[in-house]
Homo-oligomer: A and B are copies of this chain.
Amino acid sequence: MLYSNIKNEKIKNIKKLNQKKYRDRDNLFIVEGEHLVLEAYKKGMIKELILEQNVIFPLDVPTIYVTNDVINYISELETPQPIMAICNKLEEKELIGNKILVLDGIQDPGNLGTIIRSAVAFNIDTIILSNDTVDLYNSKVIRASQGLLFHINIIKRNLLDIIPVLKENKYQIIGTKVTYGNSLKSIAKLQKFAIIMGNEGNGIKDEIQELCDQFIYIDMNEACESLNVGVATSIILYELDK
């Protein structure tokens, strides 16, 4: 079936998935480009493959063909790709593993994607997103993560509920601040921890800070007031993974 009209109801509904409210309503999201489509395919997440007419990309999933106009209409990229897919959202699992990363209100999708990529690199078992974290299925998050959000357990929780549960289960709760606490370099190896990273402008919320067992900071030259949160998270996860 070839779709050529951007006013077609099905095409309009696909494009709506660029907005969070429709992703939430339909429990679906879009990925664009060969690499991300293949990553989603490997995980069995594709509901429908969307190919520009004449593109040969044989995957064993329901497939529709569209014109270049339709690709350009749906795409959020500066350079739209002739291969896209509509995917089912990941099933939320329970909290697993001993190495937990907690994100308290990260707002920039590029930062969240970068953090997910580094969390996979440095063997985090579960990422917990606060309810006010940017949407995991925002296309910029997916692109910045290079599809690695499909390779790690990510759950969304009220942090004021889940952190006490982590404490009961003997996770060390570690907050991060720019200049307060223990130097990252001096931290002994941790077996079971939840490390909390805060919002870009405001850091970790006060009521979450109160739940922390200790704080760590990254030593740096005082000319630099702070690091990008994606960079800071990556350095901390690298160090904790040693």
> Which residues of chain A have a CB within 8 Å of any CB of chain B?
110, 114, 117-118, 120-123, 144, 146, 148, 151, 185, 218-221, 223-225, 227-228, 230-231, 234-235, 238, 241-242
Contacts and interface: CB of A to CB of B under 8 A. Distances in A.
A230 B228 CA distance: 10
Contacts of A235: 234-235, 238
A20 to B, nearest CB: 19
Given A123-B221, A148-B224, 20 more contacts: A110-B110, A114-B228, A117-B227, A117-B228, A118-B224, A118-B228, A118-B231, A120-B224, A121-B220, A121-B224, A121-B227, A144-B228, A146-B225, A151-B223, A218-B238, A228-B230, A230-B230, A234-B234, A234-B235, A238-B238
Q: How many copies does the complex hold?
A: 2
Contacts of A114: 228, 231
Nearest to A223: B151
A241 B117 CA distance: 24
4 A-B pairs with least C-beta separation = A121-B220, A121-B224, A231-B234, A120-B224
6 contacts: A117-B227, A117-B228, A118-B224, A118-B228, A123-B221, A185-B242
Contacts of A221: 120-123
